[in-house]
Amino acid sequence: MELSTRYLGLTLRNPLVASASPLSKTVDGVRRLADAGVGAVVLYSLFEEQLHREALQDARRAEAGTESFAEALSYFPAGAGEDHGPRRYLNLLERAARAVSVPVIGSLNGSTPGSWARYARSMQDAGAAAIELNIYYLPGDPHIRSGDVEQRHLDILARVKDAVTVPVAVKLSPYFSATGEMVRRLDEAGADGLVLFNRFLQPDIDPETLTVVRAVSLSTPAEIRLPLTWIALLRGRVGASLAATTGVESSIELIKYLLAGADVVMTASALLRHGPEHAAVLLDGLCEWMRRKGYATVEELRGLLATPVGADETARERGDYVSALQHANSTDYGPW
């Protein structure tokens, strides 16, 4: 079975990629993912905020002159469970990239166009085969203009692209007025890949304790529908690679994303739930299905169910919606 895949100009042994998550917080974790068979590993994110904090620490140290590093750090204590992010991150990246034969991708996470983006270069120098730029930005202020939100994405990408020669993938939100146009403009601005999509942290409310609960929850397969729709719509319409992320629990979701046209399919929640070795289960399931359906290579099946290029995408989506709702409205949902 031939699973090899091109992603961001890199050749991967298969289209399954370990998405950014705490599983890649140690070299051992990265090694377990590689041993389980994934085609590439995206490290957990280094955040713009951590880089700002480090810059402040450096400035503080320089100001203090003779002050020791430990003393300087005490002015800006790290968050819980965090050990002075950027230096540790580069060290891990360097060791992980040497420890495994699959590409290790560094993840840089931010929301403003700033000098922090230059850190992508340090990731490249530490051995990152590519950079995944996660632009996580929720324009909560109702005065923020949609055009400014889009321009912000392009400006951040430009800064990262300026800093590196390795490929850059952009992980973005699905919530734009015209998501397709945003993707196209990122593609034109030089994004080598689009990672669809960021899962927004959607706080819950606990009515008993009257508190807002802000916790990351693991995904479910029902969540694949939104990225699946956009992967199918974008396939063949942009030069950048398309990566699907969200909702892969079994090989079924992996297969669906490939049929929609994803170049690679990422997974985090399922590996957190079942352990890194679950990657082998996903790949075995893909191979078993390919054998049963008579496919010898992933290329033969990739994009088979994408929206055909040349179709009137907007009319088609509207038509599908109207007929689905008409069908739903003539369905008997009882008995009550």
Ligand X SMILES: Cc1cc2nc3c(=O)[nH]c(=O)nc-3n(C[C@H](O)[C@H](O)[C@H](O)COP(=O)(O)O)c2cc1C
Residues in touch with ligand X (CB under 6 A): 19-22, 44-45, 107, 109, 134, 171, 199, 216, 218-219, 245-248, 267-269, 272
Closest to ligand X by CB, 194 vs 268, is 268
Closest to ligand X by CB, 160 vs 248, is 248
Residue 101 structure tokens: 């034969």
Closest to ligand X by CB, 7 vs 295, is 7
Closest to ligand X by CB, 107 vs 179, is 107
Task: Report the nearest approach of ligand X to the CB of residue 12 (Å).
Answer: 17
Q: How far apart are alpha carbons 96 and 93 in whole angstroms?
A: 5
Closest to ligand X by CB, 72 vs 231, is 231
- Could you give the maximum distance between any two Cα atoms of the chain, in Å? 79
Do you find a cis peptide bond into 200, omega within 30 degrees of 0?
Answer: no
Task: Report the nearest approach of ligand X to the CB of residue 211 (Å).
Answer: 21
Q: Dihedrals φ, ψ of 311, to 5°?
A: -70, 155
Of 104, 118, 108, the closest CA to residue 160 belongs to 118
Q: Dihedrals φ, ψ of 116, to 5°?
A: -55, -30
Task: Report the nearest approach of ligand X to the CB of residue 245 (Å).
Answer: 4
Strands 16-18, 104-110: pairing kind: unpaired
Task: Report the nearest approach of ligand X to the CB of residue 20 (Å).
Answer: 3
In sequence order, what are the residues at sequence separation of 6 or more whose Cβ sits closer than 8 angstroms to the Cβ of residue 53?
76, 78, 85
Q: How far apart are alpha carbons 128 and 160 in whole angstroms?
A: 14
Closest to ligand X by CB, 85 vs 261, is 85
Task: Report the nearest approach of ligand X to the CB of residue 140 (Å).
Answer: 20
